[in-house]
Structure 1
Amino acid sequence: MYCYMKQDSRLSATLHVLLHMADRGAPMTSEELAACLGTNPVVIRRTMAGLRETGLVHSEKGHGGGWTLARALDAITLGDVHRALGEPALIALGHRSENPQCLVEQAVNSALGEAFAEAEALLAGHFDRVRLSDLAADFSRRFDERRQIHAKHNHTL
């Protein structure tokens, strides 16, 4: 009875490459970004082209070229990236039928529709409050913690 929808990981993947770009601080090629995700450079080029159209990234051709951020990390929110990706669905749940004739199904759709709208509004609001600089700070904290653990471990051997 259950049908599982494939999760849309484009937002997560795009945030991943944007943080790699910021960390590098220099242009990154589609091939380098694809290696970060284990995907094809064509997928990266397609995604980055959409981000370029919305002013999130910039590209330079030729030797030393590649993709760079067009704005500072604190000037880009998760919501900006979500919108640049074409606003993929935030919730994979849906109605069995969009225009049911059955009154029971109409009642079900009404209740679910309200819940879906509330959940999407809450998630969209959260996305607009979280900046890429917040993610970069979280990464730095995790990196420092891991380095300290490894340093402590290697020191005690």
Structure 2
Amino acid sequence: MDISEVSRRSGMPASALRYYEEKGLIVSLSEKGQRRRFAPAVLDQLSMIALGQAAGLSLDEIQTMLSPNGEPNIDRQMLAEKAADIDRQVLRLKAMSKGLKHAAQCPAPHHAQCPSFQALMKAAASGALERRWGKTRLPPLSSTTVDPKDQE
């Protein structure tokens, strides 16, 4: 298939296909300087790239899961670690949602006097610092900020 056919069938712009080829995620069958042609299996590779991106994997991480011939070479440990990261994000987001809902309905005269709002501010600051400096510098949020029923 030529690049325009791959673009049409995959829904990806030709510029993305050229970029993926440059990064080594896909390989064209054409000689340099000729119109790019790809094997039909490139559509599966593009699906795997899209799936990896949807899961939050970087292109470099995705590339490690594609063998030179384009076959999947799944790093199960990396996927398990990514799933654990997502689970931690979900817990944090649930805690933030709960805190925001409380702040919206808080009976305290001023939010500065509300212990729940103070905990929300601490959690927000911790998350902002964590994103800036990396997750190894700060401990995860205390489980006391999330109802046990929200962790299911």
Q: Same fold (TM over 0.5)?
A: no
From the CA coordinates, give the structure whose radius of gyration is larger. 2
Give the TM-score of the pair, scaled to structure 2: 0.29
Give the TM-score of the pair, scaled to structure 1: 0.29
Which structure is higher in RCO with an 8 Å CA cutoff and minimum separation 6? 1
Q: Which has the higher strand share?
A: 1
